[in-house]
Structure 1
Amino acid sequence: MKTITLVRHGKSSWEYDVSDRERPLKSRGRNDAKLVANQFIKSNTVPKRIFSSPARRAFETCKIFMEVFDLSENAVAIEESLYDFGGNDVINFLKNLPDKINDAMIFGHNHAFTSITNIFGDKFIDNLPTSGLVKLNFDIKSWQDLKPGQTELIIIPRELKK
């Protein structure tokens, strides 16, 4: 059994004249990420391995989760291939994870994460919103055998605010 938890970065700010990779989170992005991280930790164990896109907004989102998980940001591996919007690089990243890793969390971007959720999960989502989280389980022994699995959990920030 393999498990991957996908977290889309929080809402980013467009008020700075910076490159896409350097765009920071808005305060709403930080608040939503903390809300989702606190909801996730209530009923789930912390994944054994955590990876983040190098984009500032993704890594800032990841750091918020690390604070909630009471982990150092040193526990996070920055992966260039997670700075992907189509999904192929993320899928290749997953297929090349070491098989000793059974449970991982990755922080990245849309449209990649919505696509991966719909390709490999059993619950369709129209769009994974900013700070949204999806946990997928796979009945496989090797990541190279990645195939559709089961969607265990979806956390959407706006649903936590009702």
Structure 2
Amino acid sequence: MTTAPLRRLLLLRHAKAARPSGTEDHERPLSARGRRDARAVGRLMAEADWLPDLVLCSTARRARETWELAAGELAGLPLMRCESRLYHPPVPVLLAVVREASAHMSTVLVVGHNPSLRDTILVTAGDAVDGKLQQVRDKFPTAAIALLSWHGTWQELNSHKALLTELAVARGPRR
């Protein structure tokens, strides 16, 4: 009997954004804290060996900047695709984008926004390690990253299919 391949979905909420006057939401840049935290996300991913095969990133400036700074801390660079459907999507749309991942990819990272990411975790995680689901229900802050795992295909990711195995919030040092 063969076991279905292990899939890992990383969901990363963009780092803290600034709110410059006259700037549309989609074009908001990261704040100084956000830039520090985005680099910390990259270091956390490198230390945990969470290098994705594919990055699916919202087209919002703060999401793209988060990934660019995080990627600078990684040893290798995966394929990256900016996806307009990831700018504040409902859960079914976010999952539709993820389900388009190629079968040979084992780990996909989505860089996006709340409440979309939090809701996706709560819908897809059938269980979690160490009370992590309650932590997500309470708050999924900026620069938070969650790791969902399951055996199967990308197309099989649906309600309660995955296990929430990791949850971390990256905070860079203040200078």
Per the TM superposition, whether the score is higher than 0.5 is yes
In the alignment, is the contact (CA less than 8 A) between 1:14 and 1:23 conserved in 2? yes
Q: 1:23 aligns with which of 28, 36, 39?
A: 28
Deviates more, 1:52-61 or 1:95-104: 95-104
Q: 1:71 to 1:54 in 2, by over 3 A?
A: farther
Match of 2:122 in 1: 118
Asked whether the equivalents of residues 14 and 62 of structure 2 are also in contact (C-alpha less than 8 Å), the reply is yes
Equivalent residue, structure 1, for 2:107 = 103
The letter of the residue matching 1:43 is A
- What value does the CA root-mean-square deviation take over the aligned residues? 1.9
Question: 1:16 touches 1:23 (CA, 8 Å); kept in 2?
Answer: no
The aligned residue for residue 145 of structure 1 is 156
Runs of 4+ more than 3 Å apart: none
**Does structure 2 conserve the Cα–Cα contact (< 8 Å) formed by 1:36 and 1:155?**
no
C-alpha deviation, 1:80, in angstroms: 1.4
Aligned pair 1:154/2:159, yes or no? no
Identity across the alignment (%): 24
Comparing 50-59 and 114-123, the one that deviates more: 114-123
Structure 1 residues 59-92: Cα deviation after superposition (integer angstroms, max 9, x where no partner): 00000111011456x8421111111243221111
CA distance in 1, matches of 2:41, 2:71: 12
Q: Which letter maps to 1:146?
A: L
Given the two structures, how large is their TM-score scaled by the length of structure 2?
0.82
Q: Judge conservation of contact 1:87–1:111 (CA < 8 Å) in 2.
A: no
Aligned-partner residue type, residue 88 of structure 2? D
Which of these two proteins has the greater Rg computed from alpha carbons? 2
The amino acid that maps onto 2:146 is: V
Write 1 or 2 for the structure with the bigger share of strand.
Answer: 2
Q: Which amino acid aligns with 2:80?
A: V
Which of 4, 10, 33 is residue 5 of structure 1 equivalent to? 10
For residue 19 of structure 1, report the CA deviation from its aligned partner: 1.2
For structure 1, list consecutive stretches of 5 or more residues without a partner in the other structure. Answer: none
Q: Counterpart in 1 of 2:39?
A: 34
Q: TM-score, normalised by structure 1?
A: 0.88
What per-residue deviation string (whole Å, max 9, x for no partner) do you get for residues 90-142 of structure 1?
111112222222211110010010011111222311221001000111111x2
**Does 2:55 match 1:50?**
yes
